[in-house]
Amino acid sequence: MKTRRGLVIGAGGVLGYTWSVCALHRFESVTGWDPRSADVLVGTSAGSVIATLLGSGVSASDLLASQKRKASARKASGRGGRETESALPPWPRARPLSLRLFARGLRGKIPPSVSLVGLLPEGRAEDFGLAKAVDAIVQDGQNGTWVTHPRCWVVAMDCHDGQRVAFGRAGAPQAGSRDAVRASCAVPAWFAPIRIGDRRYIDGGVVSPTSLDLLADEGLDEVVVVSPLTWSPRDRAPAGSLGEALERVMRRAMSRVLDAEVALLESRGTRVIRIEPTAHELRAMGPNFMDPRRRGLVLDAWSP
């Protein structure tokens, strides 16, 4: 009997994207399992780009080769070549993202960690460097077409009510892959929210670093979760700077969310394989997961 397997790829910014590509390529090399063959693909933020590309037939080897080309271009030019990715966001707009979102938290409708995002200034950036990778593969414009994979879900958060939306899942609002990925990648206070229909959406990682729990009722035998923003309890790296200390606080919080989601799936009889950064890989990424200048270091951390 065929093992029904899901693949979940979590949020992680520019460097989390590179790390996840390396992790998937290594997992395929070791196990012989092609991630494109997953019965369900779930992607959040940077992970939504990878899930969408896999769902369009792009291999892990091709994804890795693309990252190596970008790193080589930066090294050769001393900067990013044609890249427009920046390690720092543009100055945000002088208005909060969503006071309604904050008010829902005060009424106990959503967790405080989600509602407080509503008080962050609205991001201004609209140049989605990662999401542009989707444009060359999925030529959908605004017409609502989706990738060829039958069950590819892209997770974003609705700014109106703080709830997750898994675009591509039955019952979700209609959206094309292009808009869904941009919504999933809209990091609060960095990128502008993406409007789909009559709602605005931002990074689904605000609610969960992976949204692994969305697969709890899918009856899968096994789920592989690639989570660049958490860390393994067996390999927690100490902080070497203030920036890293703050980053470790974030990782602890997100790891607790993932721990609970893993426990949920295991209670339903689904085996979960967690792939998370080692201490060595954390040092390569550094505290700013949006810094493209460290892409080469992350790739090197995976070299034999």
Calpha distance 127→83 (Å, rounded): 10
Q: How many residues does the chain have?
A: 304
Half-sphere exposure of 74 (CA within 13 A, CB side): 18
pLDDT tens digits along 77-110: 765 444 456 777 788 888 999 999 999 999 999 9
Q: What is the pLDDT of residue 237?
A: 67
- Is 296:74 a contact under the CB 8 Å cutoff? yes
Strand partners, 275: 226
pTM: 0.92
Reading the block at residue 144, the tokens are: 């609502």
> 3-class SS at 224?
strand
pLDDT tens digits along 212-231: 999 999 999 999 999 999 98
